[in-house]
A and B are shown apart, each in its own frame.
Chain A
């Protein structure tokens, strides 16, 4: 094509070219707007929480998170038991759910017969679809009676020398909440772990086996380390859900504003307190204190997530699968 012809072609269709550009620009603008909408919403949310809790912040300040008093009549509010309850119930949930989900995920990806893998993974995934109020009811009618009559007394007999397992047994308790949460986060932790383990290249397994590792050793020394950052992501996902879960927790935790050493004792979480008290709060200060709790819950969630992510980044340097997912 000569230079002359080229110019001719170019000048022949200036309009259509411009139109294509225009469409691209609109598309880009729409997507940009959509992408920025989320951070802006988040900003509004933080601002609302902040302004809603101004009254409580001015009145209690930093004491709010160190005080254990919660007395709407005297208008004295302290959120320590709520923060403690949220963190402890989530920790219990992780301690129970993570080894279990990881074990199931390893079984399903490495050891289970082909015919078993999909159905079991699907059934566990179904657990995620159950509404949390149903978990709560199940907790009240099934789990708590079993815990009160059988599991807790056994635990107290076996591990009663620890302060964690002493004291009166009521049923509704921190441990009951932790167990319910563990069951609720298991499907998430399990299915993400499974995906991550499936993404580990077969050559890693073969490398370990060819060096004389048994199947078990190959999983522990090669497959899991390769997937460690992705597995960390699975745990964070579970943690995030446990921190914010409201309905099922409030139905089994006992709802008492108190920091107790024993896991058998009732407790309270931030999310549960907000949901329970918001409709009944009459005083401005009570409302503001609940907004303050929401603000603290937001901060705790962000901090715990950021901390966990940082930890995984540090652990996962040089690891393969799933690091880009974080």
Chain B
């Protein structure tokens, strides 16, 4: 059973390193996948966490990664923006291409990579700064816009994150004073501040109540018009609700990757079926 069901329309990737801190010129390959995983393996010391992953993530769609705890979902997500780099003793094989540029090629500029690939974490982690400063953090750091244009950008990001109406009168208050759901939407707005191409979400609703979860899910639906979204979730209903494509991971392997509807109704693999029907995991 081939893991990649969609045709691998791999455009030969132009060898462009991500440039320093400027809205990177998008290389050709607009028709190719937004994220292209090529025979990617990942090791924590002697332990292999990801095994020869190969699949493609479609642009401006939501791709969900599901699987039992410890299957490597989060490791995979954090491999895309190289947030695993901090951990001592890690190594990887293969490569991941983001919009045609290699992530693991020597000389990749991490700053520019992470500006193009935003991330939302499991627990809301706003900075203890004001709402405005939280959203302005990325653009100010990376000098994406002039100081004069920051307020417009902040408003646009907060609107996109569906938070503007709730916080427009409290932009000067600490981001940490918002409710949990609002904090998570603030973190989404903060990630949008960098004007990324890809948005990674690591179980973004696991710390939220059902109503806040619903708001985030609606938001994800709106955001996919502009962004490529990869979401890790342990909640299969959530994956079924929000995603267009779903990948099922188990023990570091990609067991199955398909359109969400097909994966949940006609899983091709026995283990996928066992997992989505709740027989293990």
**What is A's interface to B at a CB cutoff of 8 Å?**
114, 201, 203-214, 217, 221-222, 225-226, 317-320
Contact = CB atoms under 8 A, between A and B. Distances in A.
Interface residues of B, number: 30
Given A211-B191, A212-B111, A318-B128, A221 B141 contact: yes
Interface in B161-204: 174, 176-177, 187, 190-191, 193-194
A210 B83 CA distance: 7
B145 to A, nearest CB: 14
A226 B127 contact: yes
Interface string B127-141: 111000000011001
A201 B176 CA distance: 14
B123 interface: yes
A318 B123 contact: no
Contacts of B123: 203
B141 A212 contact: yes
Given A209-B83, A212-B21, A317-B174, 7 more contacts: A207-B126, A207-B187, A210-B81, A211-B138, A221-B141, A318-B177, A319-B128
Contact of A211 (B128, B176, B194): B194
Contact of A209 (B86, B128, B194): B86
A315 to B, nearest CB: 11
B119 interface: yes
B127 A210 contact: no
Given A201-B125, A203-B123, A318-B174, A211 B137 contact: yes
A211 B114 contact: yes
A318 B190 CA distance: 18
A215 to B, nearest CB: 9
3 nearest A-B pairs in the assembled complex, by CB-CB distance: A318-B174, A212-B115, A203-B125
A217 B137 CA distance: 11
A225 B128 contact: yes
Contact of A210 (B88, B114, B176): B114
B112 A212 contact: yes
B190 A211 contact: yes
Contacts of A208: 127, 137
Contact of A206 (B121, B142, B194): B121
Nearest to B120: A210
A214 B81 contact: no
B121 A203 contact: yes
Contacts of A213: 111, 141
B203 to A, nearest CB: 13
B247 interface: no
A222 B138 CA distance: 12
Contacts of B190: 207, 211
Given A207-B121, A210-B119, A214-B111, A225 B129 contact: yes
B115 A204 contact: no
Contacts of A214: 111
B118 interface: yes
B114 A209 contact: yes
B228 to A, nearest CB: 16
Contacts of A320: 128, 176
A217 B110 CA distance: 13
B127 A204 contact: yes
Most buried by B among A114, A203, A207, A217: A207
B127 A206 contact: no
A209 B86 CA distance: 10
Contacts of B137: 208, 211, 221
A201 B125 CA distance: 9
B135 to A, nearest CB: 10
Contact of B127 (A209, A217, A225): A225
A215 B202 CA distance: 22
Contacts of B194: 211-212
Most buried by A among B115, B137, B176, B187: B137
Contacts of A211: 114-115, 118, 137-138, 141, 190-191, 193-194
Contacts of A201: 125
Contacts of A217: 141
19 contacts: A114-B88, A201-B125, A203-B125, A204-B127, A205-B86, A206-B119, A208-B137, A210-B83, A210-B119, A210-B121, A211-B114, A211-B115, A211-B138, A211-B141, A211-B191, A212-B21, A212-B111, A212-B194, A226-B128
Nearest to B88: A114
A173 B138 CA distance: 49
B129 to A, nearest CB: 7
A233 to B, nearest CB: 16
